[in-house]
Structure 1
Amino acid sequence: MNGELLLVGCGNMGRAMLQGWLAAGFVRPDDVHVVEPAESLRAEAGALGVSTYASAEALDAALRPATVVLAVKPQVMAAVLPAYRPHVAEGVVVSIAAGIPVSALEAGLGKVAAVRAMPNTPAAIGKGSTVIFANERVSPQQAEQVVKFLSAGGAVHRVEHEALIDAATALSGSGPAYVFHFIEGLAEVGTQLGLPPQTALALARETVFGAGALAIAADIPPAELRRQVSSPGGTTEAALLVLTENDALKVLLSLAATAAHHRAVELAKMEA
């Protein structure tokens, strides 16, 4: 990555992203500045060889990083932004805070090149999905750079309308929690059927992991994969008859994702 990087906030997601960038060689430790108020988290960041600071006031007044990544909690974003206004200059600002619209970033930082990104937790191990929206001030070169370093966490998808970030939040941002809950339920059923708890949990995890990997690797749609394992009169068909009756599973997923989407929209309006 060209130029210096300023990372504001180095909690779980911020640190995971930083580790990914360094491991991929996208940025050198000497070019990274991390602001993190929590001493323990700041120490963990410092162990990676980057420069760390307790607050924005400790930064060199002349610092003008090419990229500023905002990884702070949404509820403190408005209070945090003004302190970084002198540092954004001609760089690009990337926010991973849920529910914070570009307009809120501009309110705190001025008319900057801004990218709103929604990663999900599997990005911590390089298997995630990140959806981004860039305002009109982001140059093609800046957009390419942002996509490159976010790709350390997995796939990156760009949308042309900011409202679609809220839809992505309902699908991929919150989606891992849906899958984790499914794994919980599948493992619990396994124990009810007599399997040892550890075996049931292992089978549930492996089944979801394997099915997801196959769905990505296959050149056919998931519906066809489902049909291939559903022999007439077999065990899978018996289970699917329950899940598909009155579109039970699809209806439940729709209700869940719609609730997440509505909440994402509400949060964005509150911060606009």
Structure 2
Amino acid sequence: MIHPSAIIDPAALVDEGVDIGPFSIVGAGVEIGAGTRIGPHVVLKGPTRIGKDNQIFQFSSVGEDPQDKKYHGEVTRLEIGERNVIREYCTIHRGTVQDQGVTHIGSDNLFMAYTHIAHDCVIGNHVIMANAASLAGHVHMADHVILGGFSLVHQFCKLGVHSFSAMGSVISRDIPPYVMVGGRPTRPHGINSVGLERKGYDADALRAIRKAYKLIYKSGLTLDDAIKSLDDMAPETPAVSVMADFLKNTERSIIR
């Protein structure tokens, strides 16, 4: 289960059911849950907690110090849930004390090769980051977000549930739930209708979401007035309520 060439610090907690490949390094303060498979040449640094049934492919660096000039060796954490797939050359860094001190990743996510998750990011469940997509620090991604290959996300941005970015998007503002963005410069391009249909959203919900999108992007309303209109729709459509709540809490404004 553990290759003889792997180096496991005595202060690491590794479940008996974990596979660790050749030349991988597991540092002090790393916890790895049952069923997780660590490929060759992987570096895991603590404090990091990795849940059950994750797959971490070769040459990934997980739990390393944050790339933040304000970081001076404070004890911070990385937490990873269950059943995530972390492909080749991924880099995932711990948090900083300037935020909550933790980078948090949920469950059932796919991080393709060369993706980067910076310090203090918070990622939900069922997220897909395609090859070389990169998050700066303090980014929050809700459930079911998809980032196309080589997408770049500015620090402190928030990406709403079921949002979608096309390949090469440069995201410097928040993306509301269900919205697709793309192009150079990056602009909104309707709702993620295919993804929503696959997740079971019915025709009535899709019509309401499209109407909400038009209020935000096509009506000429200010953002505050659009939020008021969404609040009027929200009691009848929970999906619209999700959009309204997101817009009320945006700090960087939204891509428009």
- Output the TM-score relative to the length of structure 2: 0.30
Q: Which has the higher contact order (CA 8 A, sep 6+)?
A: 1
Task: Point out the structure with max Rg over C-alpha.
Answer: 1
Q: Higher strand proportion, which one?
A: 2
Q: Higher helix proportion, which one?
A: 1
- Output the TM-score relative to the length of structure 1: 0.29
